[in-house]
Structure 1
Amino acid sequence: MILVTGGTGLVGSHLLFKLLETNAKVKAIYRREHKLELVKKVFSYYTEDVASLYQKIEWIKADITDVPSLEIAFKDVDYVYHCAAFVSFEPDKYHQLRNLNIKGTANVVNLCISNGVKKLCYVSSIATIGHHQNPEQLITEDTHWNQEEDNSVYAITKYGAETEVWRGTQEGVDAVILNPGIIIGPGFWNGGGSSSLLKKVYKGMPYYTKGVTGYVDVDDVVKAMILLMESDIKNERFIVISENLSFKEFQQQTALALNVKPALKEASAFILAVGWRLDWLNQVLTGKRRRLSRHMVKSAKSITQYDASKLKDALNFKFKPMSISLKENAQLFLSDLEKNPY
């Protein structure tokens, strides 16, 4: 029996579909009833037989921060895909991030140990991997993550979650950790995560930045997860990115796929500095969630280029080019837009 945490999220929902295609017996955790409809929506992109496939999932209402509910979910489980996480770069969300990402992962690891789970797959992030002073130097799994640097609250808590997984490997649980870049996939256009990027480009983004980071299609993330879990590989981490693109390149390719105008102006350091401070002030005055934090600005300006050779070599893995990924996702977005204008 396989357990998937975060089953109603972008990665979790796509993972469920791929696992069910192989007739695997699957349990999945959910917290909110209405999120289950998003899973059905994702399934609908790939099959007309949504209902019968969806009904094969044993849904468990649980919270990774609530051990009693989690204990029920772990009954008779052999393999665990831990996809649940809270993504935010807002400094005031630090304690919530710690609770969900670190404490929640510790609970998952502890139950893997006590239930004799054979293997755990944890979806982390490239945010937990260090950077080089030289932007031309590729970042690998061995690049040191400096805890003394000005890291984002998200990176700090995901790094702490990884530490919990490594602890589990010392206590008898085989594990693999994936460090994906920005994940592009359909079905969550209105969320606050990476899937909403297509909607933002469609609605018009006035500025671009020259920062560089790694991108990957959600199908590749899921494929890597399953292959690593089915392999003999254990207690290793893998960068999962298809390509390194500048934010300008990403916006231009996405705008082209959506048939809209790309951003034409570069956001200067001054504009970005003023922007995050005004956003902070807006949060103080109105209580609205942050849309642009200092660490987001730092990331937007940083040139970070990642090397996924370890995964490619270990699994003979071939990534979907981002140009194809963006075209496919743009078609799905525009199709959804015709049915339900945002």
Structure 2
Amino acid sequence: MVLVTGGTGLVGSHLLFHLANNSTQIKAIHRKNSNLTRVKRVFSYYTSQYETLFQKIVWVEADLNDITSLDAAFADVTQVYHCAAKISFNPPDFDKLQKVNVEGTANVVNMCLAHKVKKLCYVSSIATLGKRKGKTEVTEEYEWNEQDANVYGRTKYSAEMEVWRGSQEGLEVAIVNPGIIVGPGFWKTGSGELFKTAAKGRNYYPPSGTGFVAVHDVVRIMILLMESHIRNERFIAVGDNPTFKDILTQLATYFNKPRPKKKVQFWQLEIIWRLDWLWHFLSGNKRNLTRNTVESLRHREIYSSKKVVDQLQYNFQPLETALLFASKKFLEEHQ
């Protein structure tokens, strides 16, 4: 029996689709009042038989920080995909991020050990990787430095430490470090924000760029790692390293909008993040741009997926394919 945490998120819902389509016995954790219909909607993107596939999943109401419900969810489980996480770059959310990402992961690891789970696959982030040196690409071996790391990256790194702790206590683990994940259905977080921005036809684009990857690539790599003899290793999952201008230009073409032509300058970003902080201080609204985010844009990182390509003989799908498909779904849902 396979257990999936975070099954109502972008990665988790696509993972559940692949597992259900392969007739895997699945349990999925969901929190009270979570939106299961969104999982069905994701399934419907790919098949007319989405109701049948959805019914194959045993849904268990549990919370990562509720030991009793979590313990019940782990009954008869042999493999765990840990996809659940809180995503926020807002500094005041640090305690909430710590609770879900770090303490929640520690609880998952402890349950894996207590229930003698055979293998755990954990979805981390490129935010936990070190910075590149010179013109070299970032690899899994680069040492992470907390300096200038955002609150999300700090808690995901601490969560990885809990996973490695589990490996030292006898649990087989695999960690995947994806870039920004491109996929349909989740327009308020992650790459979904880029789709919303492009659909508005904005003339400005941010400087720099980063690693991107299609959600199906992340899922397939996770499944391959779970089924392989590879253990206690981490793998970068980045299909391409475009600039933000490249991404927004591509999306603007799909949305029949003007292409962005003006790059936001760093002096403008320095003013904006300070004004954003002041507005947060006066109103209590969440931060939209932080100093750490601006600093991260100054140093573009290029990520290497050579390890996963070599060890799994994996070929990433073209990023344009994922962008086009997600764009079509975005337009269908925002007409």
Q: Give the TM-score taking structure 1 as reference length.
A: 0.95
Give the aligned CA root-mean-square deviation in angstroms. 1.1
Query: 2 CA distance for matches of 1:299 and 1:194?
Result: 17
Partner of 1:117: 117
Query: 1 CA distance for matches of 2:201 and 2:290?
Result: 20
Query: 2 CA distance for matches of 1:187 and 1:217?
Result: 13
Partner of 1:205: 202
CA contact (8 A) 2:14 2:215 kept: yes
Partner of 2:139: 140
1:66 Cα deviation after fit: 1.3
Partner of 1:154: 152
1:33 Cα deviation after fit: 3.0
Query: 2 CA distance for matches of 1:295 and 1:184?
Result: 23
Partner of 2:327: 330
- The CA deviation string for residues 197-220 of structure 1, in whole angstroms up to 9 with x for no partner, is 212211233421231210000000
Query: 1 CA distance for matches of 2:272 and 2:221?
Result: 37
SS in 2 for 1:3: strand
Partner of 1:25: 25
1:273 paired to 2:291: no
Taking every aligned residue pair, what percent have the same amino acid on both sides? Answer: 49
Query: 2 CA distance for matches of 1:67 and 1:131?
Result: 36
Query: 2 CA distance for matches of 1:27 and 1:120?
Result: 14
For structure 2, list consecutive stretches of 5 or more residues without a partner in the other structure. Answer: none
Query: 2 CA distance for matches of 1:299 and 1:99?
Result: 25
Query: 2 CA distance for matches of 1:197 and 1:64?
Result: 30
For structure 1, list consecutive stretches of 5 or more residues without a partner in the other structure. Answer: none
Equivalence map 1:1-342=2 (5 Å): 1-134=1-134, 136-147=135-146, 149-189=147-187, 191-338=188-335
Query: 1 CA distance for matches of 2:277 and 2:120?
Result: 38
1:300 Cα deviation after fit: 2.8
1:328 Cα deviation after fit: 1.4
- The CA deviation string for residues 88-117 of structure 1, in whole angstroms up to 9 with x for no partner, is 111111111111100000000000000000
Residue 105 of structure 2 aligns with an amino acid whose one-letter code is T
Residue 76 of structure 1 aligns with an amino acid whose one-letter code is D
- The CA deviation string for residues 104-135 of structure 1, in whole angstroms up to 9 with x for no partner, is 0000000000000000000000000000242x
1:179 Cα deviation after fit: 0.2
1:34 Cα deviation after fit: 4.5
Aligned residues: 335
CA contact (8 A) 2:241 2:302 kept: yes
CA contact (8 A) 2:118 2:172 kept: yes
Query: 1 CA distance for matches of 2:49 and 2:157?
Result: 39
Residue 196 of structure 1 aligns with an amino acid whose one-letter code is E
